Amino acid sequence: MICLAAHRTRHAGLTLLELLVVLAVIAILATIAAPNFQEMLKNNRVSSQTNEIIALLTFARSEAVRRSVPVTVNLSLAGTDSDAWVAEVLDPQTGNVLRRSAGRKRVQLESSDTQLTFNSRGYLAGYFKDTGNGGELKLDPDEWNPEGADLCLKHVNPSASGRQHRIMHILPSGQINTNSTVWNDCPPS
């Protein structure tokens, strides 16, 4: 008599127990990785929008030097329904928008200034002088701002351990320094 057990071949595959163990390991790894992935996404959102603003400010500064006239950047911090903020470089002669950049809903821009002007030398203009018309002040394009200006981008829902905030300090020379910071330091005091 032939033994049936000897001719039986083992089928390749997973048992239900092995499959459950693999699924449990995947679930554990996913719960560990998900918060780090969300923090990375938040950092990337803030970083990319910081780079957009820096590119816009650099463009405005270079246009001011190239045209030898002051160029203004308007900052709309509230934005529209689809934008969290809007920054526009205006043509000094026509007032038309030369370049526009808009942020996404999850990242907000904070600044004490709603306009930044670069003078014809590329310096950040900032001193106003009396025009003699009843106390009316006008920006003197030849003067530069010795204090500079600060812009702050931050994620609206930061993680507790994350640094989803960027402070951009525009130096009087028009150069831009950027550093990441914690929620309490944004905007800087």
Read off the pLDDT of residues 85-125 as tens digits, 9 standing for 90 and up: 888 898 888 888 999 988 877 777 777 777 888 888 888 88
At residue 116, the pLDDT reads: 87
Cβ–Cβ < 8 Å for 168, 50: yes
Rounded Cα–Cα distance for residues 167 and 110 (Å): 9
Q: Report d(CA 124, CA 127) in Å as an integer.
A: 10
Cis peptide before 35 (omega within 30 of 0): no
User: 10-19, 50-59, 113-122, 128-137 — which one is most confidently predicted on average?
Assistant: 50-59
Please state, in angstroms and rounded to a whole number, the distance separating the CA atoms of residues 171 and 186: 18
24-73: pLDDT as tens digits: 999 988 888 777 777 888 888 888 888 999 999 999 999 999 999 889 89
H runs (alpha helix) in 73-158: none
Q: In 3D, which of 103, 97, 56 has the Cα closest to residue 78?
A: 103
16-185 in CATH: which number?
Answer: 3.55.40.10
- Counting Cα atoms < 13 Å in the Cβ hemisphere of 119 gives 16
* pLDDT of amino acid 125: 82
Backbone CA torsion sign across 63, 111, 46, 85: negative
Across 10-19, 63-72, 173-182, the highest mean pLDDT is recorded for 63-72
Beta-carbon contacts of residue 166 (< 8 Å; ≥ 6 apart):
46, 47, 50, 152, 153, 154, 178, 179, 180, 181
For strand 71-76 and strand 115-118, is the pairing parallel, antiparallel, or unpaired? antiparallel
CA torsion angle for 35, 38, 40, 44 (degrees, to 10)?
Answer: -170
pLDDT digit string, tens, across residues 158-171: 666 556 788 888 88
Checking if the pLDDT of 7 tops 90, the result is: no
Least confident of 15-24, 51-60, 70-79, 152-161: 152-161
Model's pTM, two decimal places?
Answer: 0.71
